[in-house]
Amino acid sequence: MQIADATILITGANRGLGLEFARAALARGARKVYAGARDPSRITLAGVTPLKLDVTSDEQVAAAVRAAGDVTLVINNAGIAEFGGVLADDSIDAARRHMETNFLGMLRMSRAFAPVIAGNGGGAFLNVLSVASWISRPQLAVYATSKAAAWSLNNALRNELHAQGIQVLGLHAGFIDTDMTRDIDAPKSRPEDIVAAGLDALERGASEVAADELSRQVRQGLGLDPAIYLQAVAA
């Protein structure tokens, strides 16, 4: 799918990776960019159309469909990431929060906008996943479970939407230099590099892209024996 002349809706577009997706879409000649955020007053990028959108709300997702019926590309970027392991005292509540946004939010948006995109002649979903879809560490273990679920959902969507002429692209990356990772001391990619890798892959017609060196190494390691996610136990 080409970005030029596309009508694009980006969730979580007020900051970080979502804001960079909006900038890049405009630079590549998108016809229109809807910038979704819980608080649309925080959308300050010139050239986009702010849209009140909380992906955990059925009502707001339905309202977004009514407001943005010309969409041909949805970028499911909205997500949360909290520190914590799966056996922590608050892990049940933390898992609910992560799944509600990172998994069910993506599912809500996909179910709502798949008929819109099909009715507009086809298009695409670009789903922001993570290297944590494939590998888990205690620091972000609950987050990782939600992203693993989102990866599986991404693959299911690809299978179900193929016949409707809708491309589904999963974008995996490690830590990205945004507000979400400011408290993490680790190498980080530039948001513009991750966005460029994602949009380039979309325009090539790809189904999956490992957007940085870490995610490429981890993906290759899935086929090792023992696989990289088993090796992580000893790390």
pTM: 0.95
Predicted confidence at residue 234, as pLDDT, reads 42
Predicted confidence at residue 178, as pLDDT, reads 72
State both tokens at 1.
């799918």
Compute mean pLDDT per 10 residues along the chain, 235 residues long, and list them: 98 96 98 98 97 98 98 98 96 98 98 98 98 94 98 98 97 86 76 98 98 96 93 54
CA dist., res. 123 & res. 134, Å (int):
27
- Catalytic positions are 143
For every residue of 126-138, DSSP letters joined together read: EEE--GGGT---T
Domains of the chain: 7-234 (3.40.50.720)
CA dist., res. 140 & res. 147, Å (int):
11
Beta bridge partners of 16: none
Rg (CA), the chain: 17
3-state helix, strand, coil in the chain (%, to 5): 50, 15, 35
